[in-house]
Structure 1
Amino acid sequence: MFNLLEHPVQPADLPGELAGQQQHIDRQFRRTLSAAGEERHAAFGELAWLIAVHETIEEEVIHPITRHLDPAEHLAEHLLDEERRISEALDDMVRVDAAANLGEVDGLAVLHQMLTTHIRRELREEFPRLRLAVAAGELQDLGDVVRVAQARAVAESPVRPGVPQASLQVRDVLRPTWQQVSA
């Protein structure tokens, strides 16, 4: 079985920051899968928020760079399609959780497998390309932007919002900063 914790993380740059987030998501998945009742509900709320924030950051920052680096290969579009399917599965699980039926582990396990497959692809295909094509200093700056955006989103909402609100909140924080860096 693929274990994200086996992969080295360089938390200073953008790919390293995102890999660190992926590891955090994987740990939270494991906590959610092993919990029950109200503990599972709370763990899943945190998990859904983490996934939404992570995927929003990728959509706003990393995939546009990937698309720009190699538009003919369509890697960014394939990753965005995977993320759309993950978001749909996550939305389904949020509805199940809202109906107080998160006792079913099958849906969570499927979502975990989808996300693990997607993460594997990013670690294998997308992140190495970024490190080869983008200057280390720029990747460092982008990692800083992502950390600041995520920290501000957390600070502005100490109680985790729902998935759509998390995405909107991170976009609102990330876009102005990202536009300043990319200008």
Structure 2
Amino acid sequence: MDASTGQDTRHAPDPDTDVVALLMAQHGEIRNLFDEVGASTGDERRDAFRRLVRMLAVHETAEEEIVHPYARRATEGGAAVVADRLREEHEAKEVLSRLDGMDTEDPKFLPELLVLRTAVMEHARAEERYEFTQLRRLNDPDRLAAMAKSLRRVEGMAPTRPHPGVESAAANIALGPVAAVVDRTRDALRKAMGKNG
């Protein structure tokens, strides 16, 4: 509430012009995709899982390339906060890699999916609490809009599934096809942001 005008100044930021709002919307989409994967079977489950992998790749890569660097240098204790988020992301990627090697109808798939969901949702809550609030407090609207624009561009450029031979061979050996989606998404994001390497 603005005391001088008596008007309610609280409004939901627009995901098109605010990277925090966009990342929060992605958290919601990720939750919905977990629900969809868990509730479906057969080809529908495989398709939903591919979309989940893509969304996680877009989201985590954007955070690694846009959010974490800013949080590391612009917030008090930022290096430790980012180190914690990177550790969480690494743990989630290991579970995702195990899932990627399974048939989605394997009896072990849904229990592993639950492990991944728990890790990803705990990670999302930590991001919202420790990074997103700092971004909102320390950034200006133009910076938030520019970050959102870069992320929107990469959403459209990100691969829908891994394509052998295009990804980083070293990462692919270590983590399998999921890593290919992450690598290609990172390349697309850097291109969208005008970065090299």
- The TM-score, its normalising length taken from structure 2, stands at 0.77
Match of 1:120 among 125, 145, 165: 125
Match of 1:92 among 66, 75, 98: 98
- Say which structure is richer in helix: 1
C-alpha distance in structure 1 between counterparts of 2:187 and 2:57, whole Å: 14
Match of 1:172 among 177, 187, 197: 187
Shift of 1:177: 3.4
- 1:77 is aligned to 2:83: yes
Shift of 1:122: 1.0
- 1:19 is aligned to 2:24: yes
Secondary structure, aligned partner of 1:96? coil
Match of 1:163 among 167, 178, 196: 178
Q: Which residue matches 1:139? A: 144
Deviations 1:102-160 (A, max 9, x none): 6631111111111111111111221010011111111111101110121122xxx4x53
- 1:57 is aligned to 2:62: yes
Secondary structure, aligned partner of 1:97? coil
C-alpha distance in structure 1 between counterparts of 2:187 and 2:130, whole Å: 28
Indicate the larger mover: 167-176 or 54-63: 167-176
Kindly indicate whether the alpha-carbon contact (under 8 Å) linking 1:89 and 1:111 is maintained by their aligned counterparts in 2: yes
The root-mean-square deviation of aligned C-alpha atoms, in Å, is: 2.0
C-alpha distance in structure 2 between counterparts of 1:169 and 1:85, whole Å: 20
Shift of 1:96: 1.6
Kindly indicate whether the alpha-carbon contact (under 8 Å) linking 1:9 and 1:19 is maintained by their aligned counterparts in 2: no
Matched residue count: 168
Deviations 1:57-89 (A, max 9, x none): 111111111111236351011001000000001
- The TM-score, its normalising length taken from structure 1, stands at 0.83
Q: Which residue matches 2:171? A: none
C-alpha distance in structure 2 between counterparts of 1:104 and 1:166, whole Å: 20
C-alpha distance in structure 2 between counterparts of 1:9 and 1:77, whole Å: 28
Secondary structure, aligned partner of 1:32? helix
Structure 2 gap segments, 5+ residues each:
1-11, 163-176
C-alpha distance in structure 1 between counterparts of 2:77 and 2:132, whole Å: 18
- Residue 45 to residue 9, structure 1, CA distance change in 2 (3 Å): farther
Shift of 1:10: 3.6
Kindly indicate whether the alpha-carbon contact (under 8 Å) linking 1:56 and 1:167 is maintained by their aligned counterparts in 2: yes
